[in-house]
Amino acid sequence: MTINKIYDSPAAAVADVPDGSSVSIAGFGMTHSFPTSLTVALREQGARRLCIVANSLGTGDYRSNTLIENHQVNRLIVSFSARAGEAKSAAEQQIEAGEITVELVPQGTLVERLRAGGAGIGAFFTRTGVGTAIAEGKEVRTIDGVDHILEYGLKVDYALIRAARADRFGNLQFTGVGRNFMPAFAKGAKVTVAEVDEIVDGTLDPEAIGVPGVFVDRVVRRTVEVPHDFPAPRAGRGADSARTYHGKPALTRRQMAELAAGLVPDGSYMNLGLGIPTLISNYVEGRDIVLHSENGVLGYGMIATREDYDPEVYNAGGQYVHLRPGASFFESVTSFEMVRGGRVGFVALGGFQVDGQANLANWSTPDMIGGGIGGAMDLVAGDTTVMVLMTHCDSAGRPKLVKDCDFPLTGLACVNIVVTDLGVLRWDGTRFALEYIAPGFTAEEVAALTELELDTSQVQWQS
């Protein structure tokens, strides 16, 4: 019999998904790389009591969140159940009401668990999440002098993924950062269904295949057209916005990013996380700094404009970016290998709190239902210099540099540098030393707006 994995429609491809199934649905951020046609078909098919495994749930009528809005889900295994500053989603409402249970998993651990499940590996130890809420109730083992937690391989009933093109053998090809979660999700499922833009007449070039057909059971052409969303900054959080302290303007987010870029030496590999750190990419042009993004790109640069962007090239914040010479694309498993394995020398992250023990909290606040771990726990678990960019105080005027974090921790004793809108602080092994002060402010003013006892004798420069 000739192998032919092509199905006539998305509806036919998900017709046999029964109630109570576990379904992994790929997709990055709020809008990117989601198998929208298959998700809509599953909504219309109506299977209930689903366990959805995903990085994020997305937004709108075409992404994973639509299944929750249709009350088809009773369990989530995700990296994001909520996002700071966003209106309460259907997922948060149903979690709060007890209709959905949620297990939050760091992004790198999620793809590694699915890869392991598909590879027949029962469990593995990882440094990611040690000392945080993620580690509660899990076995801890010290390996080479470092604590690791035990994580189990994850196998699901169905995976819904997306690719650029396929052939009848189920071989898949991707463009840009489109492969991100797809290989791991495909490997971790009993039945993998791929939605593609094009089904070729014949076969794909073997050298160009991103997922071999052995991992793919069904292929269907995309039927739901979803326009590309161009991300816009939220009100009051534009790159040129600035907070005011004691009646004086602090640094803008753009100035913070430029300042942070100047702290990184040429020849460095650097990961940029969500929020203010994404702006750093505008300040590496002409420098020998290679930027890494957890969604699977190495060697990108400036943020693109609405008039000049490639919808298949975006950063960890979902912003479209331009590539630089020497760029490469890869899947998420490989992406996190680069960081945890010590290949990426600098990581820049946003933060809610940093405390006097160099601990970081950046994924959940008291008003969030669950939270958004994303890849941050993986990013701080490697042998890397961690730089946190955040405003000195929150919108209510409360310090973000605190004696002890009272928000859930992202990592223990992991922060090396903090860049705020009032200055630069560097961890010396026992406390933070202030080495730069924003124009118009004094060391005493900066110190007074923290809960920490800062070393203010090390100030090196002030603009």
Q: 34-58, pLDDT tens digit by residue?
A: 999 999 999 999 999 999 999 999 8
* 94-127 pLDDT, tens digit each: 999 999 999 999 999 999 999 999 999 999 999 9
CB 317 within 8 A of CB 278: yes
Same CATH topology for 10-221 and 244-462: the answer is yes
CB neighbours (10 Å) of residue 430? 10
Tokens at residue 463, please? 């603009």
Q: Please state, rounded to an integer, the average pLDDT across all residues of the chain.
A: 94
Q: Compute CA 390 distance to the chain's CA centroid, rounded to the nearest angstrom.
A: 17
Q: Where are the domains of the chain?
A: 10-221, 244-462
pLDDT of residue 410: 98
Question: Is-above-0.85 flag for pTM?
Answer: yes
Over residues 433-458, mean pLDDT: 94
Share of the chain above pLDDT 90, in %: 88
Tally of helices (H runs) and strands (E runs) in the chain: 10, 26
- Band (414; pLDDT cuts 50, 70, 90): very high
Has residue 171 got a pLDDT over 80? yes
Beta bridge partners of 425: 418, 434
Q: What is the reported pLDDT for 59? A: 87
pLDDT of residue 237: 61
Rounded distance, CA 95 to CA 260, Å?
38
- 21-42 residues labelled b (16+ CB within 10 A) or e (exposed): bbbbbbbbbbbbbbbbbbbbbb
Gap between the Cα atoms of 107 and 134, Å rounded = 12
What would you report as the CA-atom Rg of the chain, rounded to the nearest whole angstrom? 22
Active-site residue identified among 92, 112, 195, 294? 294
What is the pLDDT averaged over residues 210-239? Answer: 82
Quick one: pLDDT at residue 231?
A: 64
Q: Which CATH number fits the domain 244-462, given the four candidates 3.30.1330.10, 3.40.1080.10, 3.40.630.10, 3.90.1660.10?
A: 3.40.1080.10
Can you tell me which residue has the tokens 């269904």?
193
**CATH code reported for the domain at 10-221:** 3.40.1080.10
| pLDDT at position 235 over 50 | no
Host H or E run for residue 43: helix 36-45
Per-residue pLDDT band for 400 (boundaries 50, 70, 90) equals very high
What gap in Å lies between CA 88 and CA 96, rounded to an integer?
10
Active site residue 294: yes
pLDDT at 210 over 60: yes
Q: How far apart are CA 272 and CA 2, in angstroms?
A: 46
Q: What percentage of residues in the chain have a pLDDT greater than 70?
A: 97
